[in-house]
Structure 1
Amino acid sequence: MKNTNEALEVVSQVLIRCVVIGVAVLFFWWGALALMGDLVYSIHSGFVPMTREQFDVIHYAGMLMTKAAVSVLFLFPYIAIRLVISKRNRQGAGG
């Protein structure tokens, strides 16, 4: 039982770090577009011809997909594991 709890703790720590990294990437991405959107657009449109509206839609869709992936792959499993750990600790303390 102790090894399982330790393993769950390690996995939860890894997952929360992944959440933090994912959120940091999203903030960096948003900041780059908010502060230097024209520069980023000019660089990208040099490689692939596109309108500014297409560029914005592509990036906002990418941010949405990244946010969904971080939530589904890292945040929700982290919450589930923390709930399991909490339940195990309550059962261990009571019995």
Structure 2
Amino acid sequence: MDTTQLLSFLAWCTLINYSVLIVWFFIFKLGHDWLHLLHGKWFDLNEQQFDLINYCGMGLFKLFILVFNLAPWIALRLIE
């Protein structure tokens, strides 16, 4: 795999992962009550715990996108 293919792969990974993050955010905001009701039955979560888990999950996912997709893409673009 040459540098151009790797750059393309990382760019697509970044785009796809940010799309997943945006969809997760909108599903969480628009279906908050329904999701809390559903997951609350399974895991005995109150609303604050449910919100905290989702916000921390989104933050961790965003951090992983930055570290494993965007940062390598930027580094490769700088050396190319």
Q: After TM superposition, is the score higher than 0.5?
A: yes
Unpaired segments ≥5 residues, structure 2 = none
**TM-score calculated relative to the size of structure 2:** 0.96
Q: Does 1:34 align with 2:32?
A: no
Which structure has the bigger radius of gyration? Answer: 1
Give the C-alpha shift of residue 84 in structure 1: 1.0
Picking from 24, 28, 34, the partner of 2:19 is 24
Structure 1 runs, 4 residues or longer, greater than 3 Å off: none
- Residues of 1 paired with 2:30 and 2:44: CA distance? 22
Unpaired segments ≥5 residues, structure 1 = 1-5, 86-95
**TM-score calculated relative to the size of structure 1:** 0.82
- Residues of 2 paired with 1:40 and 1:10: CA distance? 39
Picking from 71, 79, 87, the partner of 2:74 is 79
Identical-residue share of aligned pairs (%) = 30
Aligned Cα root-mean-square deviation (Å) = 1.0
